[in-house]
Structure 1
């Protein structure tokens, strides 16, 4: 599965902002308790590194469904194998990083989301940010 597709799944199931998702590191993922801690974002546009969260209350730990825990475990194994073959060290420990060692920008993820929604013949084509609203609709 592509990194963009995993980010979309994560956004849909958690309602998180794209910068928050892009900033998740492996140290933020607790496989045992099925949680993810948000304490930073990532500057996915200029690629200058980590940023503060949008607000103080954006610093939080959330529960994630088992499907995300399993997807993260699978991704971690894939990355370790791929990066070992490439001789690459993921020094920032970013979770959502491509085989070219980059965090996808929101435009790339929005293109993938648009393709998925078009294939599904969805009535509305939304952006990643729209996943926050979709998640909130289902969560309430």
Structure 2
């Protein structure tokens, strides 16, 4: 199981990381370790990829990569400390508005940000093939 955090700034822009391994832009996140809770893993993954400390907010979506069998839980988050620093996993950062997502990210990851921006909505449950929604 994996987790991701859609970290929002005061202008409703989402923090995206550019991955070192493939150059793709995505919300920060990764695979949970066996001995940690979901929120502990979310905080750790965001910190490891960005240098930021975050406070998890609501669960905004559950996404299954049908090709790889991975389920991702995505949470809206707010930064509470730290500073953005390049890491072994992330080579760049940007704050992106919802209008910038389509040209920047694969559909399967852009929808995670869109879903996180829907205030008061039930968490989305979606399937994808790693790139496109199914």
Q: Which has the larger radius of gyration?
A: 1
Q: Which one has a larger percent helix, Structure 1 or Structure 2?
A: 1
Q: Which one has a larger percent strand, Structure 1 or Structure 2?
A: 2
Using structure 2 for the length normalisation, give the TM-score.
0.28
